[in-house]
Amino acid sequence: MDDALEAPPDPHRWIILALVCALALAGNYLQYQITALGVVLMVRLHLDITSFSFLFLAPMVVAVVLGIPLGCAGDRFGPKRVVATGFFVSFVGAVIRLLWLDSFAMQYVGMLLIGVGMCALASNYLKVLGCWFGLDTDRAVGIYYASSCLGIVIAQSSTAFLASIEQAYGIGAALLGVLLLLWCAFGSSEPSVSHERKSVLEATGASAQQSPFRGSFRRALSNSGVWLLALSAGFILSATTAFAGFLPQALEVSRGYDSTQAGMLAALVTLASIFGALAGPPACRLFPRQTGGMTTLILAGAICMAAPSFAPNGSSLIAVLALNGFTTAMAGPVVQASVLLLPEIGKAHAGSASGIVATVSIALTSLLPLLAAMVCENDYHLNFIVQGCLLLIAAVSLRFVRLRQVP
C-alpha cells in the first residue's frame, strides 16, 4: 500500500469530518433558507424574480471570484486558518442579513459574505480530508456531498414552518456561530505524525505542508489533469443544478402535477442524491481503473437524467426520478477526490487545484443552464434530454485524465 496515501489511524479524523460536514450543511442551509422564504422576501423587499435570483445566487458570485485565491491561501497558510476566517466573515454576513431585513442592498451584502465561508470550505475541504483519510478520501468526500444535500433538504422542508424571517435568520446565524467556535477549537489541517513519516509525506506530495503561494498556484495551473477534472466537475454540476432548477416547473406545466406534488417529487430527487453520493465511491472501487469507474457512473447518470422525458406519470416517473437523483450524484465525489491522485499535485497543492476546480465548476454552472434554457425554451421534454447530454460530456474529459493507481 502507498504509505504516502494511507489514512492515519487517528480517531480524531471523525471529529474533523463531522465538523467539515456540519459547516457544509450550515452553509447550504443559510443559502437555501431564502428559497423557502422566497414569496415573503419578494413581497417584503419588493423584488421581482430577477432580483430574487441575484440574491439567491450571490454566494456563487463569490465562489467564482475567490475560489482560486482562497485555495492558494489554504496551501500557504493552512486550511484551518482560511476556513475559520472565511466562516467568521460568513457569520458577520448572517448577522447583517438578520439586522437589515428591509434593505435589499444589505441583504445582498449579507449573502455575499455568507458565500465567503462556503467558498473557503469548497476550496480547502479536499486538502483537509485528504490528509486525515488518505485512501478513504473518496468515501469521506461522499459524506461531505451528502451533508451538503442534507442542508438543502432541511432548509427547504423546515424554514417555512418557522414563525418569522427573523427567527429563521436568527437560527441560521446562531448555528454558524456555534460551528465556527467548534472549528476553531477542534479543527485541524492534518494529523500529528512522527518526523520520519512527515518527511515521507512531504517528499511524495501527500502532506498539507505550507507551500509558496505562487509556486503552488503555478503548479496547479499548469497541470492538465486539474483542468480536465474541473471541466468534468463543471458539466456534472451544471447538469444537476439545471435539472433541479426546472424540474418543479416541468412537472407542473408538462405533466399536470400541482405545486405540492411537484415539490415533493423534486425533494425526492434531492433525497436520493444523498444516498447516491454515499454509494458512488464504493461503487467506483469495483472497477480496475478509477477513470473507468467514474465514466461508467456518469454514463448511467446521463441515461437516467434523460429518462423522465419518456416515463409516464405515476409510479414509473417516481421511480425514474429517484433513480435519477441516485445515479447523478454518484460520480461527483469521486471526481473531486481524484484531484489528490493527480501527478505533482497531491495534498500539498490540493488547495490551489481545488480552487481551480471550484471556480471552473461554478462558472460553468452559471452559464450552461442559462444556455440550455435558451435552446430548449418551454420544451421541457427536450430540456431533460439536454441535461443528460451535458452530463454525458462530463465523461469525455475523464478519458484524458491520468491518475496515480492506488490499491
Q: List pLDDT tens digits, range 367-399.
A: 787 777 777 777 777 888 888 888 899 888 888
**pLDDT above 60 (res 7):** no
Q: What's the pTM value of the predicted model, to 2 decimals? A: 0.76
What does the pLDDT read at residue 208? 46
In the structure, what pLDDT confidence band is assigned to residue 216 with cuts at 50, 70 and 90? low
Q: List pLDDT tens digits, range 251-301.
A: 777 777 776 677 778 778 888 888 888 888 888 888 888 788 888 889 998
* Rounded Cα gap, residues 125 and 22, in angstroms: 12
Q: List pLDDT tens digits, range 121-135.
A: 988 887 788 777 777
> What integer best gives the mean pLDDT of the chain?
79
**pLDDT above 70 (res 8):** no
**pLDDT above 60 (res 73):** yes
Closest CA to 355 of 192, 198, 211: 211
